Amino acid sequence: KTRCSVEKTQCPGSVVSGLIELITVGLTHEKIQDAAAVLAAVRVLRPELKALDTFDAWISIKRGNYVEGARLLRELESDAGSKPLCRALYACCLFAMGDPSW
């Protein structure tokens, strides 16, 4: 029987910041699959970083899944660090869905 254990991966914050910037650039240049792959890697490096969930919402929006994007963003409302971007993305979702409350 084979066991696999995952230990916390040590990685300098500057590398993680660079990878997060790469996700942002990827999404702004429509490289959605590439950005999602980098996001998965960053989650391994920093699994406790709740702000990464904002990228899941952004990816859903980029894929045209506004309902899922809005749902993810509503779940992030309590995370103060994500609020400005989350609110902007949430407004985009509401507009795209034709919601009059946006």
- Into how many domains does the chain fold? 1
Sole residue written with tokens 């609020």:
83
How far, in Å, CA of 8 to CA of 28, rounded?
30
Determine, yes or no, domain membership for 58: yes
For residues 36 and 59, the answer to whether their CB atoms sit within 8 Å is yes
Residue-range definition of the domain harbouring residue 61: 13-97
The pLDDT profile of the chain, 102 residues, written as one tens digit per residue, is 444 444 556 789 999 999 999 999 999 999 999 999 999 999 999 999 888 999 999 999 999 999 999 999 988 876 656 678 888 999 999 999 999 887
For residue 63, tell me if it sits in a domain. Answer: yes
What CATH number is given to the structural domain containing 47? 1.25.40.10
Q: The whole model's pTM is what? A: 0.80
